[in-house]
């Protein structure tokens, strides 16, 4: 009899647990989807076709906020204040082979990018502080390099924030576009002579 009560209790508990699990809803689709860009930009195609000889030089992972009729720079992105350079988690730069930014060699590793935009200059910050949500826990002591770049006003409005590598002969510019602004962060691949 006691054994039957234990079995009955176990079955009731199992049924209640299954109902509770069945009622869980999946997370909602993020309004600012994530995207990824590689240097070289055709690396994913080379990898899928089995033609990639090496790892990429760098990869960037970032959230893509949307303009939605808002004033971006000087509006939702305040001038002279720290910005996560995207949406949600801070933008992540993974370097697979050393690069030079603003005359500083950045070794292989994972970094976070931040930006302090102003009307005439953006300060791009490469930080060792990884896995940050936004820029709330930003720590200047973890800065690896700061590089000032000049934003340009474009004729075209870019609705969704975009970052990509524009490469040329061992160098690349990290292009950042949103609203009517474009900024380029020059990078050089540092190769070791064998």
pLDDT tops 60 at residue 11: no
CA distance 142 to 138: 8
**Which pLDDT does position 30 carry in this prediction?**
59
Q: Average of pLDDT values for 67-84? A: 95
Q: Where is 113: in which H helix or E strand? A: strand 109-117
**Which pLDDT does position 192 carry in this prediction?**
65
**Which pLDDT does position 164 carry in this prediction?**
96
Tokens standing for residue 129: 């502080």
CA distance 139 to 21: 40
**Which pLDDT does position 138 carry in this prediction?**
81
Q: Average of pLDDT values for 161-180? A: 94
pLDDT tops 60 at residue 85: yes
Rounded to the nearest integer, the mean pLDDT of the chain is 85
Q: Average of pLDDT values for 5-29? A: 57
DSSP class per residue in 1-49? -HHHHHHHHHHHHHHHHHHHHHTPPPPPPPSS-EEEEEESTTHHHHHHT
DSSP class per residue in 55-84? --SEEEEEE--B-TT--TBTTTB-TTS-B-
| Residues whose CB is less than 8 angstroms from the CB of residue 69 and which lie 6 or more positions away in sequence, other chains included | none
Residues across the chain: 194
Torsion sign over Cα 8, 12, 18, 21: negative
Q: What percent of the chain has pLDDT over 90?
A: 59
* Contact in structure between 36 and 47 (CB atoms under 8 Å): no
CA distance 75 to 115: 15
| Burial (CB count <10 Å: 0-12, 13-18, 19+), residue 24 | exposed
The full set of domain ranges for the chain reads: 27-189
**Which pLDDT does position 165 carry in this prediction?**
95
How many CB atoms sit inside 10 A of residue 93's CB?
26
| HEC profile of 93-104 | EEECCCEEECCE
Question: What digits encode the pLDDT tens for the residues 111-154?
Answer: 999 999 999 999 999 999 887 766 667 888 999 999 999 999 99
Q: Report the chain's terminal Cα–Cα distance, integer Å.
A: 80
Structure-model confidence comparison of residues 91 and 130, the more confident one: 91
């Amino acid at each position: 009899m006691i054994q039957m009560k234990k079995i009955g209790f176990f079955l009731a508990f199992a049924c209640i647990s299954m109902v509770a699990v069945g009622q869980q809803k999946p997370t909602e689709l993020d309004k600012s989807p994530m995207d990824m860009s590689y240097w070289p930009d055709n690396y994913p195609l080379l990898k899928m076709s089995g033609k990639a000889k090496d790892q990429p030089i760098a990869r960037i992972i970032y959230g893509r906020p949307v303009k939605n009729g808002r004033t971006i720079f000087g509006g939702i992105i305040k001038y002279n204040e720290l910005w996560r350079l995207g949406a949600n988690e801070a933008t992540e730069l993974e370097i697979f082979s050393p690069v030079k930014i603003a005359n500083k060699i950045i070794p292989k590793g994972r970094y976070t990018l931040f930006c302090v935009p102003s009307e005439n200059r953006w300060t791009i910050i490469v930080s060792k502080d990884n896995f940050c949500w936004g820029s709330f826990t930003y720590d200047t002591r973890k800065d690896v390099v700061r590089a000032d770049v000049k934003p340009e006003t474009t004729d075209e409005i870019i609705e969704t924030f975009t970052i990509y590598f524009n490469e040329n002969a061992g160098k690349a510019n990290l292009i950042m576009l949103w609203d009517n602004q474009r900024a380029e962060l020059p990078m050089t691949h540092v190769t070791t002579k064998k």
